[in-house]
Amino acid sequence: MFDDFFIRALVAGIGIALVAGPLGCFVVWRRLSYFGDTLSHSALLGVTMAYTFDLNIALSVFLISSVIALILIQLQKKTNLPGDALLGLLAHSSLAVGLVVIGFLTFIRFDIMGLLFGDILAVTTNDIFVVWGGGAVILIILKLIWKPLFASTVNYELAEAEGLNPDRSKAIFTILLAAVIAISIKMVGLLLITGMLIIPAAMARNMSDSPQKMVIYSVIGGLLSVILGLFSSLEFNTSSGPSIIVASLILFILSLLNIKQSIKLKN
């Protein structure tokens, strides 16, 4: 029925959606969408470091993104600059450094379009193991820090007063975001991974009345986006990564109808 590469893409995409859904909800709740962009931009530097020193790409991206995330946390404590200024500084600086490094690596041929938008149809069996294995670890850690992370999202001062150590859970969460970007950059690309985190979660928020439902709907939205995006890519011969994001956008637009319907029922 389907070629092996399509089945591998489907399995990898489902793995990414299962992980991106819960994390994306926290990105929306904590208003960290620009932070996700910052980490994804820094991923380019991670890729160039991987080629330079012959490292695993996922590991290199994870290390660089984690360092950028920890630098941001320290800058927030030691400077008076607003958060959006710091995010912009780190995002564009890391992206620029990555592009400069690429300019020096003339002996390596880079697929810039692949880095920016990913190529989920080119995933290998090893990539699938990385996505599902890394994703399982990410979800387990997220479950362990769920209570302090959610409490600090609702009320930071109250979480701190209850001894839940919100700063630690925030730091762990930022590293988890770096890990998601690391395991998915090859499939979705550094420009589209933030869309996988935000758009299904935004759709879920339009349809849910509790945090638990939002997480569930976000995962379902991500799964549908991957399935619909890949099949439409196969049918219309479009790029797979952008097709997944477009499918997610269509689901978000449909979720707006649910809001309008709810307003009508209340009136």
Flag whether 259 is in a domain.
no
Number of domains in the chain: 1
pLDDT score, position 72? 83
Residue 206 placed within a domain: no
Residue by residue, pLDDT tens for the chain (267 residues) are 567 888 999 999 999 999 999 999 999 998 888 887 788 878 888 888 887 788 888 888 888 888 888 888 888 788 887 777 888 888 888 888 887 887 777 766 666 666 677 778 888 898 899 999 999 999 999 999 999 999 998 888 888 888 888 888 988 998 998 899 888 887 887 778 888 999 999 999 998 889 999 999 999 999 999 999 999 988 888 888 889 999 999 999 999 886 655 555 454
Residue 258 lies in a domain: no
Which positions ≥6 away from 111 have C-beta within 8 Å? Answer: 119
Q: What is the pLDDT of residue 265?
A: 47
CA distance 24 to 36: 10
pLDDT at position 182 is: 87
Tally helices (H) and strands (E) across the chain.
Answer: 12, 0
**Domain span at 141:** 4-191
Torsion of CA 258, 262, 263, 264, to 10 degrees: 100
Q: Check: CB of residue 40 under 8 Å from CB of residue 118.
A: no
Residue 240 counted as domain residue: no
Does residue 257 belong to any structural domain of this protein? no
Domain annotation covers residue 27: yes
| Predicted model pTM | 0.87
Q: Residue 106 belongs to a domain with what CATH number?
A: 1.10.3470.10
What is the token pair recorded at 97?
A: 């450094």
Element (H, E) at 253: helix 240-266
Contacts of 37 (CB under 8 A, 6+ apart): 87, 91, 194
User: Is there a domain that residue 179 lies in?
Assistant: yes
Would 222 be classed as within a structural domain?
Answer: no
